[in-house]
Amino acid sequence: MFISSLGLLAFVAYTQAANLTVLSTAMTPNGFHNAARGWNSFGIQANSATTPSWGEFNQGNVTRQCDVLAQPHFKAAGYQYCSLDSGWSLDEGDNNGRLLYDPSLFDLPAFAEHLHRKGLLLGVYVLPGALCDDGNKTILGTNVQLKSTFNGNNDGFLRCDFDFSKPGVQEWHDSVIHLFASWGVDLVKVDFVTPGSPDNGANLVVDNSGAVVAYHKAIAKASRPMRLDISWKLERNNTYYDIWRANANTMRTDQDINNSGKSTFVEWATVQRAIENYRQYIVLQIPKDQPLSIYPDMDNLYAGNSAKITGVSDSMRETIMSHWLGAAANLITGSDLTNLDNLGVKLLTSQTGIAIADFAAKYLMQPRNPGSGGTDAKQLQAWIAGPDLKAGQAIVILANYGPDQGQGGFSTQLAGKQKVSISLEDLGLGSGPAFNVENVWSGKSSVIERGGSLSESLAEGESVLLKLSLR
């Protein structure tokens, strides 16, 4: 589409005059320019009733899920990572205290080779610390026994935490990552990182952030590129955020969102909470006015299966997908990939939708309250990603989250359909240029004239994802 130089200059001038700090991104510490896309096993592991064909967590069942990612439409959308959650490893390490896969469930080198042949990548899950029972073993390449590096805390998951000031701690992390690289691992997820992770029945130390630093240093020495993703609901103050953004590729902004032990994957109250936690996180970044070098992880993406299996309506599934796209969050689905419906395939693989993810990977979305342009939690909310001044484009979401179900942050209880309207000025786009507007999911197009507003009548949990292009 041709944009006149006069129109572009006007757009730049109006935008710069508006109260909008565009949130842009920089390369992550391990060399990536977007969040990971793929599949993770935890949703089905924790909600096995959603997937009767699952059986147990083993290589065969995981392979059936991840082979779907090798289909052309998934590969074209950038889905690569087949990520194993908790349960793949043994409770005892090798002679040097390094983690080992359970051979009754997985042959990770063979599995990685299978994935790599299909153009896919392997992710594994770990916890901070080393297995307590390996304390008498000597760290590879040293004469240091593991138990001499422990700080005295058993976290309740068979692991003892490190004193990161002790010699041998970095060497142990180096040896683990070296082993992972030899297997063909491409992503490491470190869970129960503190400060941040709720105890959830564990005995967590107040601060094990040193594990993030140690794994990052080890990955920098590895023989193959690896992502480092950290979890969950991590501390956002500047002290620890600076550690996360200097060492990891994504950080979890919320708790698990799945319905553990139930017959559906997710419920709407938890989605409200996940969106609110992203809002809290991103609002803290606005006044810093600097590129973000870490991406948010809003937890697994549950949008691929029918409403009956997912647990929320089809319009809510669209809303979930739109927000994960706009936030440039991990597009790591937890859905049953062997039982996708037509809407699920569309949401996950639409090239128009993936283009939104690619845009947001450069410009993350932020809230803009209808009527004020503020950043508060609202039931009737608007978001903007960008604008990209050079291309003359921005992404906008209008949403009605429905009555607050307890953790949405907005507290209002507006029932039924509601009109959501926001002016270009409140979006931070000024009152100047006009825009072509494309509804990403319906494909419908319209025009918003200069100084105008975007308006939609939206049911509870419904939203619209809009691409704005300067006329």
CB atoms within 10 A of CB 166: 13
Q: Kindly give the residue spans of alpha helices, DSSP state H, lying in 139-237.
A: 169-183, 210-220
Q: What's the one-letter identity of residue 403?
A: P
HSE (CB half, 13 Å, CA atoms) of 171? 15
Rounded Cα–Cα distance for residues 300 and 278 (Å): 14
Which of 85, 256, 299, 426 is labelled catalytic?
256
Are residues 189 and 121 in contact, defined by beta-carbon separation less than 8 angstroms? no
Q: Kindly give the residue spans of alpha helices, DSSP state H, lying in 327-418.
A: 342-349, 351-360
Q: Is 191 a catalytic residue?
A: yes
- Written as six digits, the tokens of 299 are 């937890």
Q: What's the one-letter identity of residue 338?
A: T
Which of 85, 186, 191, 404 is labelled catalytic?
191
Rounded Cα–Cα distance for residues 420 and 436 (Å): 19
- Written as six digits, the tokens of 141 are 């390449």
Q: Which residue has the tokens 């400060």?
A: 195
- Cα R_g (the chain), whole angstroms: 23
Of the candidates 306, 313, 308, 315, the one whose C-alpha atom is nearest the C-alpha of residue 340 is 306
- Written as six digits, the tokens of 388 are 């990209």
Q: Is 358 a catalytic residue?
A: no
Rounded Cα–Cα distance for residues 189 and 40 (Å): 11
Rounded Cα–Cα distance for residues 371 and 378 (Å): 11
Question: Hey, which residues are catalytic here?
Answer: 191, 256
